[in-house]
Structure 1
Amino acid sequence: MHDVAAAAGVSIATVSNVLNHPEKVLEGTRTTVHEAIRELGFVRNDAARSLASGRNLTIGFVATDLANTFFVDIARGAQDAALEEDRHVLIANSDVKASLQETHLALFDEARVAGIVLAPLGGPPPGVESLRAHGRPIVVVNHASVRTDVCSVLIDNEEVGFIAAEHLIALGRRRLAFCSVAGDSDQAIRERRAGVRRAVAAHPGVVLEDIDTIDLETPGGIQAGHEIASRPAAERPDGVVAVADAVGSAITRVLVGEAHLRVPEDVAVIGCDHNLSGREGGIPLSSVSQRGYDIGVEAVRLLAQEIADQGGEHVHRTVVLQPSVIADESTIGRDRAIGG
């Protein structure tokens, strides 16, 4: 700033005003200062500025996996909400690796960001403890946190499973399968499975089975698709709830492309996370909206409230959003899907 002031023939205070309060500086002087900035290649050090002012305008977002468009939607919502707060979002991708997640959290802590939106792997990681000890506000998304010192935003995952199964039952499906990895260690899977079971229990005559997959990606869906296709028609499920769209989309590709079954006439398939992967292949997948964008917006709003309350009594709370079915060809057929 000393160099810019000297080159422009103004005081350092004038350069500071041009950068921070341009409305206080005459247009001609602003132009002169900006020309000096361009000539010298000056870039403001916002890290130092934040330390000096005690106020950081940056929010960190640690995503589970940006290959999953659900987390991209969260990032978009967070970014838009942050801009309304005159803040900015730095995005870090954990790539489904716990070690990388911890690294990102530590880096954001070192950068003294104003707060962090965290989409954790399974549950809040150990790094959250030190972040909270340093007074860093955190909002956990897509997971019901057991911690009482953070806010959370999530979708009602039991309702996700419930309305997915109800959608199939309303279409006349009576032999349902829930396709997911085995076990109840993952919160979202456990709750979606409970929702599917609740829907089936409400309809006498409807039966349900679990088909275990090797993962929640395409290989798991291919495996489940082969298992379903290998059965005689009388033993085959006529409706499938896939815990993830990547699984559901792969199932439909196997059923149609390899087994030459009809989707949805022989087997209707619905996913649960409205991921871009559900648009892959020849048959667009019905799914359940996870409202990722809204989750991002709510998370930043909660974070902004906690930042504003620092030094006072902030009440941590959990916001639960409700999902909705987005019906497409894999359950209602092409004619109905195109016709709206």
Structure 2
Amino acid sequence: MTDVARHAGVALGTVSNVLNRPEKVKEGTRRRVLASIAELGFVRNDAARSLAAGTSNTIGIVLADLSNSLFVDIARGAEATVRQHGMNLLIANSDVDVAKQSLNISLFEQSRVAGVLLAPLDTAVVRTNSVLSTTPLVLVNYASEAGTYSGVVADEVHGGYEAARHLIGLGRTRLVFLGGPLMLTAVAQRLAGAQAAVAEIPGVTLEHIETRGLRMTHGRQAGQDILSRPAGFFDGAIAASDLLAVGAIQALDEHHGYEVPNDIAFTGYDNNHFASESAIPVSTISQHGEEMGRVAAQLLINEIQGGPSTLKRTVVIRPDLIPRRSSLGEAWRRD
């Protein structure tokens, strides 16, 4: 800033005003200072500025897995709200790694961000009353069981219920739930919702094939498990993620004579972007990721402005079914 002031022939305070309170500077002077900034390649050190002012205009968001477009949607929604408040958003990907998640939170703390949005991995660390950050923090896609942090979650039980009701409404009565491990809160809740829907209709059955994860490779293995049963054993499958559904459908498709949805109808979960573009577009449950991100960002901004005494609360958003070819067959038409 001293170099800019010398180059523009103005006082150091004038440069500061141009950067922070431009309305106080005459237009001609402001343009001269901006020209010097451009010519010298000056970039403001916001980290140092935050240290000096004791405040920051940056929020960090730590996402569990950017390969899942749900988290991309969450980031998009959060950024929209943060920008409306004149703040910036920095994004970090934990890549399904607990150590990396902790490192990302620490890096944001060291950078003196104003607050952190955390879409965490479902581990004992977040299930307990652990202090995740000394910086204001709000959870996304997870609820603090101890009420330590505010958060935004989807109603996973309702999502599982809607997926099962959709298949039952299509006349499917021999259902299977693909998903695991059940130590994952969201998977257990989605299964509970499907079980509740099945319990309402006499004659409908539901079996659970527990997977070791929610990725496509786990779905392919689940597809092999379905193929190991007699033909027609299941006529409807509720997958706990779109990746599982796509993997299972691929495994079934490789077995000649096994057609989706004629032989078995599928629903997925997450509304992952590629699921709608797969060879057989997958019916799915949308958790409204962008809305979750917007609400979480607003909760965090409220907490930053209100201080540590701000009331902690969890907002629950109800997911919706998006039907596609994997359950509707030729009755579905791409827009």
Q: TM-score, normalised by structure 1?
A: 0.94
- 1:100-249 alignment to 2 at 5 Å? 100-123=100-123, 125=125, 129-130=130-131, 132=133, 134=134, 136-182=135-181, 184-235=182-233, 237-249=234-246
Q: Which amino acid aligns with 2:119?
A: A
Secondary structure of the residue aligned to 2:125 is: coil
Distance 1:124 1:41, change over 3 A: farther
The structural deviation recorded for 1:23 is 2.1
Q: Which amino acid aligns with 2:186?
A: A
Contact conserved, 2:64 with 2:121, CA < 8 A, in 1?
Answer: yes
Tell me how far apart the structure 2 counterparts of residues 36 and 189 of structure 1 sit (CA, whole Å).
57
Contact conserved, 1:124 with 1:145, CA < 8 A, in 2?
Answer: no
Secondary structure of the residue aligned to 1:60 is: strand
Partner of 2:76: 76
Matched, 1:330 2:318: no
Secondary structure of the residue aligned to 1:263 is: coil
Distance 1:292 1:138, change over 3 A: same
The structural deviation recorded for 1:77 is 0.5
Matched, 1:56 2:61: no
Partner of 1:309: 306
Q: Which amino acid aligns with 1:198?
A: A
Of residues 259, 264, 276, the one that matches 2:261 is 264
Contact conserved, 1:253 with 1:281, CA < 8 A, in 2?
Answer: no
- Please tell me the root mean square deviation across aligned C-alpha atoms, in Å: 1.8
Secondary structure of the residue aligned to 2:176 is: strand
Q: Which amino acid aligns with 2:80?
A: D
The structural deviation recorded for 1:130 is 4.9
Q: Which amino acid aligns with 1:169?
A: I
Tell me how far apart the structure 2 counterparts of residues 59 and 227 of structure 1 sit (CA, whole Å).
45
Tell me how far apart the structure 2 counterparts of residues 117 and 124 of structure 1 sit (CA, whole Å).
19
Partner of 2:85: 85
Partner of 1:253: 250
Q: Deviations over 1:121-178 (max 9, x none)?
A: 114737994555x3x2111111121232210100001111000000000010000000
Contact conserved, 2:94 with 2:104, CA < 8 A, in 1?
Answer: yes
Partner of 1:45: 45
The structural deviation recorded for 1:302 is 0.2
Distance 1:220 1:125, change over 3 A: same
Q: Deviations over 1:204-253 (max 9, x none)?
A: 00001011223211111111112223333242x10000001001011112
Q: How many residues align?
A: 334
Structure 1 residue runs without a partner (length 5+): none
Matched, 1:25 2:21: no
Q: TM-score, normalised by structure 2?
A: 0.95
The structural deviation recorded for 1:317 is 0.4
Tell me how far apart the structure 2 counterparts of residues 27 and 192 of structure 1 sit (CA, whole Å).
60
Q: Deviations over 1:7-34 (max 9, x none)?
A: 0011111111111122222222122111
Secondary structure of the residue aligned to 1:169 is: helix
Secondary structure of the residue aligned to 1:107 is: helix
Contact conserved, 1:306 with 1:314, CA < 8 A, in 2?
Answer: yes
Contact conserved, 1:58 with 1:88, CA < 8 A, in 2?
Answer: yes
Moved more, 151-160 or 255-264: 255-264
Tell me how far apart the structure 2 counterparts of residues 200 and 130 of structure 1 sit (CA, whole Å).
39
Q: Which amino acid aligns with 1:297?
A: R
Distance 1:98 1:131, change over 3 A: closer
Secondary structure of the residue aligned to 2:262 is: coil
Tell me how far apart the structure 2 counterparts of residues 82 and 204 of structure 1 sit (CA, whole Å).
49
Moved more, 35-44 or 298-307: 35-44
